Structure 1
Amino acid sequence: MAKRSKRHGNHEEHMDESWLIPYADLLTLLLALFIVLFASSKMDAKKFDQMVRSFDVALNGGIGIFNQPSPVPLDPSLPQQTLHMGKTDDDRDKSEEEKKLEEAVHKETEDLKKLQKRLEDYIQENDLGDKLQTQLTEEGLLITILDNALFDSGKADMKPEARKLAKEMAAMLVPHPKKVTVTGHTDNVPIHRADFPSNWDLSVKRSVNFLKVLLENGGLDPAKFSATGMGEYHPVASNDTPEGRAKNRRVEVAILRDLASPPKSTPPAPANP
């Protein structure tokens, strides 16, 4: 009995561990499966097939669970895409689209610069440098006209010379069929009149009247134009001085871009050592 117990004890000390081999193989196959699924999310069907075959060759010498012939050579035309995860077709298409967008944005900017040059020449020829200003921004071309160049104090009817300015500007806008906004601004001095109960009313009426003169040009599309009034609430200078209030009383004409600048690519963060 003692001998039997001893043999039985030895048997328990040396348990059969052969089950670890298929278990390890199963874990390896699961790892390979998840890697393939992750990679295939950014690859087309052809590249996915190449990836599956490459893993089969690497792990099983070409004999997989479906007993595929061993080994299966990779397509020589796709070595980088399959093994080294190079740029996919989607990445290349995206780069081409970004390049075309950058070219279109550049062309649009050049067109706006030409329009700005024409306006600057007109301002210089008519000695309007103290009344008109132009600025090229990310949103488009902004033209700022001080109110004394367009209207008499407290009024919204345009001066005769202001109508000439609006007509010249409209002619320049015809070759540039873009969206245009006309915005009226005032200072913070209260106004109480029957026709203009507030600065809101005055700023809106001035922008609308200027817009109407622009649209007398039949070459412009009214659907692309809009007018609004901001009253006294968007000053560009202090209202504490006469000079500041004069700058705040203005009409802004914005020729808006059709395209937005593409976002700049962010370099990848360095890997942690």
Structure 2
Amino acid sequence: MARKRKKHDHDDHVDESWLIPYADLLTLLLALFIVLFASSSIDAAKYEQMAKSFNVVFTGGTGVMDQTSMQSTEETENSNQTKKAAEEDEEAKAKARDHAVLTKVKKQVDSFIANKKLGAKLETKLTDEGLLITIEDSIFFDSGRAVIRPQDVPLAKEISKLLVINPARDIVISGHTDNVPIRNSEFESNWYLSAIRAVNFLSILLENSNLDQENFSTKGFGEFKPVASNDTAEGRSKNRRVEVLILPIEKKAK
């Protein structure tokens, strides 16, 4: 009778020899990651800030970057407001200083008018546009004429001295008439008469070497800017005039 061969336990044992090189491989990978981690420099604060910023994007929360941006915007706005307030304050001070200068000039002209007893023909007024000196045409001109009478040239030269102002500013000379049509061959219209009167008056003023031509200009308005009714002789007399407008220092003649 044949004997049965007895099976031994080691015949069923699985070969595990591959575990050794696998363990070595894992060890090497772990060592590699440790070296990489050690060689990298991670700023914890920046990492936290970045994480919070991503939180803003994904959850709609408020992150560090958002807060920093808002703070920066507020600081910029505050700085701009402070700068604007300072500029407005300086502008207000400059206007106040300029107003004081024009007020002083007005007093000088008023004193001149009183001394010359010209109160009925000359007047001054401070307006939003500047200091306005109004001169009735009869002081310098004959009716329908644009040439200053020779005997009145010295008066025009005295007025020029009042226009020497420091600092210098723009001055506009404008001519005006009533609405009565011009009746001579010298001028086509009241507009021409008013313009030539302004130019002739300015030419006398600029004989004063202390005045800079660059600061002066002329305008002619004819009958189109009346200051009184043209229905009366008195009103028409007021409308026939030459105006000297001394502008504030920050304004330029247009």
Q: TM-score, normalised by structure 2?
A: 0.70
**Residue type of the alignment partner of 2:244:** V
Indicate conservation of the 8 Å contact 2:171/2:246, yes or no.
Answer: yes
Provide the rounded CA distance (Å) in 1 between the counterparts of 2:56 and 2:125: 71
> Quick one: which of 204, 210, 218 aligns to 2:195?
204
Provide the rounded CA distance (Å) in 1 between the counterparts of 2:90 and 2:56: 53
> Quick one: which of 9, 26, 39 aligns to 2:59?
26
Aligned to 1:4: none
Q: 1:24 to 1:38 in 2, by over 3 A?
A: closer
Question: Equivalent residue of 2:119, what SS?
Answer: coil
1:25 is displaced (CA, Å) by 6.8
Provide the rounded CA distance (Å) in 1 between the counterparts of 2:118 and 2:207: 23
Provide the rounded CA distance (Å) in 2 between the counterparts of 1:227 and 1:24: 66
Aligned to 1:148: 138
Q: 1:258 to 1:24 in 2, by over 3 A?
A: closer
* Greater radius of gyration (CA): 2
Provide the rounded CA distance (Å) in 1 between the counterparts of 2:68 and 2:57: 18
> Quick one: which of 115, 118, 132 aligns to 2:108?
118
Q: Runs of 4+ in structure 1 displaced over 4 angstroms? A: 22-25, 35-39
Percent of residue pairs bearing the same amino acid type: 44
**Residue type of the alignment partner of 2:149:** K
Provide the rounded CA distance (Å) in 1 between the counterparts of 2:101 and 2:151: 27
1:220 is displaced (CA, Å) by 0.8
Question: Equivalent residue of 1:123, what SS?
Answer: helix
Q: 1:23 to 1:185 in 2, by over 3 A?
A: closer
More helix per residue: 2
Query: Are positions 1:40 and 2:72 aligned together?
Result: yes
Query: Are positions 1:191 and 2:182 aligned together?
Result: yes
Aligned to 1:173: 163
Query: Are positions 1:220 and 2:211 aligned together?
Result: yes
1:1-273 matches, cutoff 5 A: 26-29=59-62, 33=66, 37=69, 40-44=72-76, 88-176=78-166, 177-259=168-250
Q: Which runs of 5+ in 1 are unaligned?
A: 1-21, 45-86, 261-273
Q: 1:23 to 1:140 in 2, by over 3 A?
A: closer
Provide the rounded CA distance (Å) in 2 between the counterparts of 1:211 and 1:101: 31
1:195 is displaced (CA, Å) by 1.2
Aligned-residue Cα RMSD (Å) equals 2.4
Q: Which runs of 5+ in 2 are unaligned?
A: 1-54
**Residue type of the alignment partner of 1:26:** T
Provide the rounded CA distance (Å) in 2 between the counterparts of 1:191 and 1:115: 35
**Residue type of the alignment partner of 2:192:** D
Q: 1:42 to 1:224 in 2, by over 3 A?
A: farther
**Residue type of the alignment partner of 1:233:** F
Q: TM-score, normalised by structure 1?
A: 0.66
Indicate conservation of the 8 Å contact 2:56/2:62, yes or no.
Answer: no
1:24 is displaced (CA, Å) by 10
